[in-house]
Structure 1
Amino acid sequence: MLSPITLAFTSSFLLSFTSGVRILPNTNGALSLLDSYDYIIVGAGIGGLVVANRLSENASVSVLVIESGDIDDRAEDISIPGNVGLEDPRRYEVKLEMTPQEFLDGETRVFTQGNVVGGSTIVNGLVWTRGSVADFDAWEHLGNPGWGWMGLLPYFRKPAIDEHGLHGPVEVGYPKYFYNQSHNFLSGIQKLGIPANEDPNNGNATGACIVPSSMTAKNQSRSDARTAYLDPVLERPNLHLITGHAVARILYGKGGKNSSSSTYIPSFATNQTIDTIIATCKKEVILAAGSIFSPVLLQISGIGPAKLLKSLGVDVAIDLPGVGSNLQDHPTLEPVYDSWDIVGSTRDAVREEYLANRTGPWTAPMVNAIALPALSWITERVQEVLDDAANAKSTLPSSYDATLREGYAAQKTELLSLLARTDTPAYEVMSTSWGQLAISAMQPFSRGTVLANSSSIFENSQPIIDPRFCSHPIDCELLLIGLEFNNRLIQTPPMAALKPTPPPGFGIEEAQNRTALDETMRRKITTGFHLSGTTSMLPLAYGGVVDPSLRVYGTRNLRIVDAGVIPLIPGAHIQAAIYAIGEKAADIIKNENSGTLPSMNPRPGEPQDSQQASPENSSKP
């Protein structure tokens, strides 16, 4: 067992918590923390709550979860599917700003993500799609044994009930109401030769469908990580949760920063003016702060690209170039087609029906229907597009070292293979309740970075987030093809019956001028809210940050369990994949801590042991 570290905190530190949370201020206003914990988890999103739940199943194991947000109040704007996208972002979200997008229009983009117990599952669009077999087999090809489709399938099944889940805590199902335009959309899509897919979670995601959602069948309300993984186990005395606290730094434990047996513990506080609390960890620290803040926390703790750390005035503990690199997202356009025939009832009437009967439009999330076409289904220029994708110059960030460039080359090989298939989508179109036909490029070739802006999590805490949309030109080309597909779609008889009017700049006649359409499009591209890859599970030779056991290279007791570990973004909405990652991570952690210490990961520059997959040894079909 790893040696514990002494716990220190200020007795005057006052907190407020929602009833039922295990950690409460005592009568003196001090925290009722244990002297030490076996596991300390940073972040209470999907990964953090799944791992906390599973590890605390063992009553002899103590678990502390530290979350910067609060617990939501289950108000109507959060719990009701029909209110998706209408919540007040000031309550449970943090606003983040991207750097000016030089390959688009030179302007910034603002986006939000969940800052609450349950993470973005409290505010997301509920869409539940796993992705295709080939998406995850690509993870294995990139040097991650056990992370292909068959290795993940038991963990896709474990979190959910329905849509092929076994008896998991997350409910997945369908609303009791479908917008009429969803049927027009599906009929129009099929008129263009896109087949229906009655089972989008069977390993072949391509096709059009009424999309499953993370929602309860009985109450027709949101099913999220908090209600699924935390609420049922709040009474476990060995599971503690602290809200309203940001982890300030991961500290070095016994062994020192230059030792090959380095261990890590977190310190945390509410803001930089209050003394930090140091939490004692006997076994492992698990980062689950998300693809933005997990890499930032590593960087300010001395783990990351040496050049960046030195510029921040941070001592370099582990020079790990991949921390904060390999950022991926699904670039998205959100055109709204006016004159769309939407719900005729008033909002008050819709609300009354929902509250009385759990029926009506409020049971339906903003996205009822989606289509995930393969490239060959939306263009006859397949080989030309593939050639452009293979040969076009991709501008990688100047900060990428040789390992990251080697890793990108391997990813690019996988992407070209995925794009050529008919069982993996190149593009998604989502039909919303208010006339939006949102489109996303599902196999993006562009890569970006997330970098700390300061050595303090509190001072200038806005990270430098640069997804570098369309830094590989094929991503914008795929979106242009998607817009052209939209214009064909709205001319089909089922869709034409809705009398949709394209937004300015995206009209059928305007689309004839591809140069002008491209310029208009680049002003509108934004995030798909699927940012991932910034602490990638890849071999060191590919710029990886964690190994297939999700342990950070060069550390003994530090793992990451969130979207950042995704090595290659799947052609799907990613919440189902993150739940699966959390479940698999929990099993790995349990197995590796059942009586013996985990093996030490190689420090960057050291040879990898026989259990660490190398890209040369990974098999391909």
Structure 2
Amino acid sequence: MNEVFDYVVIGAGSAGCVLAGRLSEDGQHQVCVLEAGGTDATPLVQCPAGLAAMSKATHLNWAMQTVPQAGLNGRCGYQPRGKVLGGSSSVNAMIYLRGQPQDYDGWAAQGNPGWAWADVKPWFLKAEHNERGADAWHGQGGPLNVADLQQPNSLSQDFVEAGVQAGFARNTDFNGGSQEGVGLYQVTQKNGERWSAAKAYLTPHWGRRNLQVRTGAQVLRIVLTTTKAGLRATGVEYVRGGVRHTVHARREVLLSAGALLSPQILMLSGIGPAAHLREVGVQPVHDLPGVGHNLHDHLDALLVADAPQLTQSFGWSATGLMHMVQGAWEWHSKRTGRLTTNFAEAGAFLKSSPEVSRPDLQLHFVVAKLIDHGRQTVWGHGFSCHVCVLRPQSRGTVRLRSADPLTLPLIDPNFLAVEDDLQRTVRGVQMARRILAQAALARHGAQELPHSACAQTPGEIAQWVRQTADTIYHPVGTCRMGHGAMDVVDSQLRVHRVLGLRVVDASIFPSIPSGNTNAPTIMVAEKAACMVLSHAEKTSVAAD
């Protein structure tokens, strides 16, 4: 069957959902979305507290691994990504953060006109419906619902108070005039449910006749054709139910498979570093050496404290189980209660030293003992505090493992390759401990677990970080935007020297924003959809 659409979108993750919703909005364009995962119609996705099971729910999670990391004493890291409608916005902790204005001014300064803070802020606002109301920093009327936590845990409030006691400013809005300080996060939730990119942009529009969404459709390659004008993307080959299919794109193919899988799909299609492609048995079609380079991520050091009597935290115990049963009933019947938590309810943005001009550290305070990304069942009660460096300098790669498109790629974040990343992490751990030692939290009698508690000097902390740290799930940069020899897309997100092909997801970030990456990814897709539609209008006018 020779199916033809105006646009074929690869991936129904955060960016792909935005593209699908916006490009099909006016009814003029036929849009097909290909998603390898399945439906999001499960309480694990819709109930916010369901995220506690996401690390074990491999039907919703790609659950990838890194190659052994020299900076982590040879350990392999965990790389979870959403494999479901909504992508990682359906499995993440729902924290809504944009980063710092200087992040985007930096993008523009790297040769990307139109991507400075003044340029991207309107797209953040267009996407947002903030329940606090509209002001200079927030939008209302957008598809993405942003809310305060419905029922913050008292421990999260204690963390904020402890931060203030430690001398840090209280911050009631990390997306306002200043990011610095300690406070509660806002979340992408609505009426007690997760409000993923799929809920915001895709599933409300199932009835659109010009929109087709195909789940269980794993992309094999982008179809490339040599035309008089040059190399052009004309379709996508995918497998569904064991059967190969090809859909064709009249206008554009939009690649939104994320920072780990978008470069893989480009390389499987023959676009990438030619020597590497030949090594794994892929015939190069377009030598683009930057594909798969510039991978970077937020590395996370995790302090865990045990507090057996702290039953207001989430934990495995008789009392904890009773609370979970009660919470499940309340959420099922009223969409309220304990299970509206995102666990990482509170946090902080801090400067690692007085000489730093803006926050370079982020803390996530979790109202549970979290070990090994939640893959390890931990008995009892307590809390956790995550520490990450916001703008790491270490850079890694994504490479093909083989020419088999069903084989996951080789992921090498190259964590802690730059010593400065390690030293800032060490200072962040020391600052987090300073907060945890304040009276507001110390009164609970929590004890840091021995594995980290024995690391007290900077050298000991550094070694503990190498032994235990891992991602906090923000990979970016592998199809970098720019105009240099190692850049993959231009400032319109068009793949260099390939017609009809754009990459739209976190892989295009030149550098990582200072915070969680979901909101910036949605912003990029909002801006990209406008670019695509503007190009369509211009070419239609030209054709007329």
TM-score (norm 1): 0.79
Q: Structure 1: any 5+ residue segments left out of the alignment?
A: 1-6, 9-34, 383-419, 600-621
Find the counterpart in structure 1 of residue 230 from structure 2. 260
What is the CA deviation profile of residues 373-401 of structure 1, one whole-angstrom value per residue up to 9, with x for unaligned ones? Answer: 1233xxx5x4xxxxxxxxxxxxxxxxxxx
Distance 2:144 2:42 in 1: 16
Single out whichever of 203-212 and 469-478 deviates more from structure 2. 203-212
Find the counterpart in structure 2 of residue 462 from structure 1. 408
For the pair 1:168 / 2:142, whether they are aligned, the reply is yes
Q: What pairs with 1:19-168 in structure 2 (closer than 5 Å)?
A: 35-75=3-43, 77-87=44-54, 88-162=56-130, 164-168=138-142
Which residue of 147, 161, 167 corresponds with 1:193?
Answer: 167
For the pair 1:366 / 2:358, whether they are aligned, the reply is no
Structure 1 letter corresponding to 2:324: R
- Give the secondary-structure state (helix, strand or coil) at the position aligned to 1:495: helix
- Give the secondary-structure state (helix, strand or coil) at the position aligned to 1:252: strand
- Give the secondary-structure state (helix, strand or coil) at the position aligned to 2:41: coil
- Give the secondary-structure state (helix, strand or coil) at the position aligned to 1:232: helix
TM superposition shift of 1:240: 0.7
- Give the secondary-structure state (helix, strand or coil) at the position aligned to 1:266: strand
Find the counterpart in structure 2 of residue 432 from structure 1. 366
Which residue of 554, 565, 572 corresponds with 2:515?
Answer: 572
- Give the secondary-structure state (helix, strand or coil) at the position aligned to 2:529: helix
Find the counterpart in structure 2 of residue 23 from structure 1. none
Which residue of 395, 420, 430 corresponds with 1:474?
Answer: 420
Q: Structure 2: any 5+ residue segments left out of the alignment?
A: 133-137, 313-318, 369-382
Contact kept, 8 Å, 2:352 with 2:427, in 1: the verdict is no
For the pair 1:445 / 2:393, whether they are aligned, the reply is yes
Structure 1 letter corresponding to 2:362: E
TM superposition shift of 1:282: 0.6
Find the counterpart in structure 2 of residue 496 from structure 1. 442
Q: Which runs of 4+ in 1 moved over 4 A?
A: none
- Give the secondary-structure state (helix, strand or coil) at the position aligned to 1:248: strand
Structure 2 letter corresponding to 1:571: S
Find the counterpart in structure 1 of residue 529 from structure 2. 586
Find the counterpart in structure 1 of residue 155 from structure 2. 181
Change (3 A) 1:552 1:199: same
Change (3 A) 1:329 1:598: farther
Find the counterpart in structure 2 of residue 270 from structure 1. 240
Structure 2 letter corresponding to 1:307: A
Single out whichever of 309-318 and 513-522 deviates more from structure 2. 513-522
Find the counterpart in structure 2 of residue 421 from structure 1. 357
What is the CA deviation profile of residues 19-41 of structure 1, one whole-angstrom value per residue up to 9, with x for unaligned ones? Answer: xxxxxxxxxxxxxxxx3111111
TM superposition shift of 1:175: 2.5
TM superposition shift of 1:566: 0.8
- Give the secondary-structure state (helix, strand or coil) at the position aligned to 2:448: coil
Distance 2:421 2:66 in 1: 18
Find the counterpart in structure 2 of residue 549 from structure 1. 492
Structure 2 letter corresponding to 1:351: A
Distance 1:260 1:39 in 2: 19
Find the counterpart in structure 2 of residue 207 from structure 1. 181
Distance 1:562 1:124 in 2: 16
Find the counterpart in structure 1 of residue 221 from structure 2. 249
Structure 1 letter corresponding to 2:232: S
Contact kept, 8 Å, 2:222 with 2:233, in 1: the verdict is no
TM superposition shift of 1:83: 2.9
What is the CA deviation profile of residues 258-310 of structure 1, one whole-angstrom value per residue up to 9, with x for unaligned ones? Answer: x6343342111137xx5521211110000001111110011111111111111
Structure 2 letter corresponding to 1:339: A
TM superposition shift of 1:481: 0.8
Which residue of 423, 439, 452 corresponds with 1:506?
Answer: 452
Change (3 A) 1:244 1:432: same
Q: Percent identity?
A: 30
Distance 1:275 1:178 in 2: 47
Distance 1:357 1:41 in 2: 36
TM superposition shift of 1:505: 3.4
TM superposition shift of 1:158: 1.3
Structure 2 letter corresponding to 1:577: P
Distance 1:293 1:368 in 2: 29
Contact kept, 8 Å, 1:427 with 1:440, in 2: the verdict is yes
What is the CA deviation profile of residues 120-156 of structure 1, one whole-angstrom value per residue up to 9, with x for unaligned ones? Answer: 1111101001111111111111111111111111110
Distance 2:400 2:212 in 1: 29
Find the counterpart in structure 1 of residue 374 from structure 2. none
Distance 2:232 2:325 in 1: 59
TM superposition shift of 1:319: 1.2
TM superposition shift of 1:203: 4.9
For the pair 1:326 / 2:294, whether they are aligned, the reply is yes
* Aligned length, in residue pairs: 512
- Give the secondary-structure state (helix, strand or coil) at the position aligned to 1:209: strand
- Give the secondary-structure state (helix, strand or coil) at the position aligned to 1:455: coil
TM superposition shift of 1:58: 2.5
Distance 1:584 1:180 in 2: 39
Structure 1 letter corresponding to 2:529: A
Change (3 A) 1:220 1:374: same
Find the counterpart in structure 1 of residue 375 from structure 2. none
TM superposition shift of 1:342: 3.9
Contact kept, 8 Å, 1:72 with 1:116, in 2: the verdict is yes
What is the CA deviation profile of residues 463-483 of structure 1, one whole-angstrom value per residue up to 9, with x for unaligned ones? Answer: 100001100011111111111
Find the counterpart in structure 2 of residue 348 from structure 1. 325
For the pair 1:529 / 2:465, whether they are aligned, the reply is no
Structure 1 letter corresponding to 2:156: S
Change (3 A) 1:111 1:210: same
Change (3 A) 1:342 1:56: same
Distance 1:116 1:43 in 2: 9
Q: From the CA coordinates, give the structure whose radius of gyration is larger.
A: 1
Distance 1:79 1:54 in 2: 23
What is the CA deviation profile of residues 380-432 of structure 1, one whole-angstrom value per residue up to 9, with x for unaligned ones? Answer: 5x4xxxxxxxxxxxxxxxxxxxxxxxxxxxxxxxxxxxxx323xx21111111
Contact kept, 8 Å, 2:343 with 2:367, in 1: the verdict is yes
